Structure 1
Amino acid sequence: MDNQRTAASFKRLGNEATTLYHDLFDDIQINQHPVPVAMPTFQVRLFLAQALANQYSLAVTFLDLTGQPVTQIGILIKDYHGRYVLQTPQPGLTVLICPEQVHYVSRLLAR
């Protein structure tokens, strides 16, 4: 996505964002070490869709039940229910990613 189209998409979707974090979307750069990005939910959805399409490995930080940040690293896939799932290097461990609960997303490396 180029910046103009991205900005237009965000403008159209802006009314959907009820909880806004600082928008650092433009600071994300491919193939650099993790850049924490705080985003409103609609941006997280667009980001995850783009990451899925481009097959990036991701680090996703979310808040656990105690409110502590937890980071998982893996490859983003969609399961047969259409949900975003992070396949981690740990055998058998996958993490369901709910965009509403994502706190930070860091793009890592293209596979």
Structure 2
Amino acid sequence: MKKSLLLIIAVIFYAGCEENVEQDYITYDCDELRSYYTDLVKPILESNGCTGCHVTSNPSGGLTLDSFENAVNGIMHGKVLNRVNREPTDSGFMPKNGSKLSQDQLNILQGFSDMECPQ
């Protein structure tokens, strides 16, 4: 009898619990994310030669950065930020044979990576 009563109390207690988890990130409208890419990210990738090597037809290192969708995969879900934040003398530094991106450019790429677009 005691076990049954404890089980009933536990079930009632559990049923009364509510999961209240706040998201600690902001979701962006996909059009807003695409505009951020077009206005800010794409010019960085183009002016630093990223899209010259990381193209769909022959992607260096298997990484493609020549479109919005590819940039999302490469920057948000890939290792681009790790590579561009290295020092030019470090192995794997990007852009290859180029200069380190400015802090403003790095911040823009990080901002893009931090954005979320509801699917």
TM range (shorter): under 0.3
Instruction: Give the TM-score normalised by the residue count of structure 1.
Output: 0.24
More strand as a share of residues = 1
Structure possessing the higher radius of gyration over alpha carbons: 2
Structure with greater helix percent: 2
